[in-house]
């Protein structure tokens, strides 16, 4: 079975999906929890990942009738309006003539589950490395900048305090000098006035 065909088995049409939701099957295990608000995900993203998993299953697909061919035949009957239970029984009855047994079908399912699990582990390991380079290193740089900014903030506060102190000292010196100048000028002018009134002649 080719890759495109296998991928289509896991990206089903809405009406078929609705039939599945209406069935009495047990809940699917290991469902992914909804992503947090910081995660942006689209149907295209999910389908791309389905394609990756489909490729891995395609490469492991053996000749003959196994789970993938079984699922393909079941979906075809669902599109024609059959119930899921009826479709499964009908396909299995036909597949038995080609040598398929219940155990062989379950064994092939186990094989594909192992393949998907291995792909998940490989992807997770690769993602950890990406996170190390794309996220952890950037976070470290951000912390470094924050530390530098904190240090610069302290330096800024120190400079501002020194500036205020310098302004106060300079303003004080200016005020004191002006006061001293006024005192000296007043004393000189007082003496000048006294001299003019006390000492006669040219």
| 83 vs 174: CA distance, rounded Å | 99
Q: Using alpha carbons, list the distances in angstroms from residue 88 to 82, 83, 102.
A: 10, 9, 12
pLDDT, position 91: 94
Q: What is the mean pLDDT of the chain?
A: 83
Sign (positive/negative) of CA torsion 35, 40, 43, 44? negative
| 196 vs 118: CA distance, rounded Å | 114
| 47 vs 59: CA distance, rounded Å | 18
Residue ranges per domain, the chain?
3-100
Structure tokens belonging to residue 68: 């993938």
> Which one-letter DSSP state was computed for residue 136?
I
| 91 vs 74: CA distance, rounded Å | 6
Report residue 87's pLDDT band, with 50, 70 and 90 as the boundaries: very high
Cβ-contact 12, 76 below 8 angstroms: no
Is the predicted pLDDT of residue 12 greater than 60, yes or no?
no
* Per-residue model confidence as pLDDT tens digits over 25-34: 444 455 555 5
Least confident of 17-21, 41-45, 46-50, 192-196: 17-21
pLDDT, position 16: 44
* Per-residue model confidence as pLDDT tens digits over 90-149: 999 999 999 999 999 999 999 999 999 999 999 988 888 887 777 878 888 899 999 999
Least confident of 5-9, 80-84, 175-179, 182-186: 5-9
- Residues with Cβ within 8 Å of 84's Cβ and at least 6 positions away in sequence, in order, are 19, 20, 23, 25, 74, 78
Q: Using alpha carbons, list the distances in angstroms from residue 48 to 23, 41, 42, 45, 52.
A: 27, 11, 10, 5, 7
Sign (positive/negative) of CA torsion 72, 3, 54, 39? negative
pLDDT, position 26: 46
CA atoms in the 13 A half-sphere facing the CB of 90: 13
């Amino acid at each position: 079975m080719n890759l495109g065909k296998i991928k289509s088995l896991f990206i089903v049409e809405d009406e078929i999906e609705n039939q599945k939701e209406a069935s009495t099957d047990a809940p699917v295990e290991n469902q992914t929890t909804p992503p947090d608000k910081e995660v942006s995900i689209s149907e295209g993203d999910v389908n791309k990942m389905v394609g990756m998993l489909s490729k891995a299953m395609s490469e492991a697909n053996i000749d003959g009738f196994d789970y993938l061919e079984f699922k393909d035949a079941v979906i075809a009957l669902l599109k024609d309006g059959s119930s899921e239970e009826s479709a499964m029984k009908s396909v299995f009855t036909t597949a038995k003539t080609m040598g398929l047994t219940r155990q062989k079908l379950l064994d092939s399912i186990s094989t594909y589950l192992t393949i998907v699990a291995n792909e998940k582990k490989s992807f997770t390991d690769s993602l950890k490395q990406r996170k190390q380079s794309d996220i952890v290193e950037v976070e470290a740089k951000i912390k470094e900048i924050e530390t530098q900014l904190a240090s610069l903030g302290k330096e800024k506060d120190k400079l501002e305090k020194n500036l205020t102190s310098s302004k106060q000292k300079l303003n004080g010196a200016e005020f004191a000098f002006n006061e001293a100048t006024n005192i000296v000028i007043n004393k000189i002018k007082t003496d000048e006035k006294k001299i003019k009134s006390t000492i006669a002649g040219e």
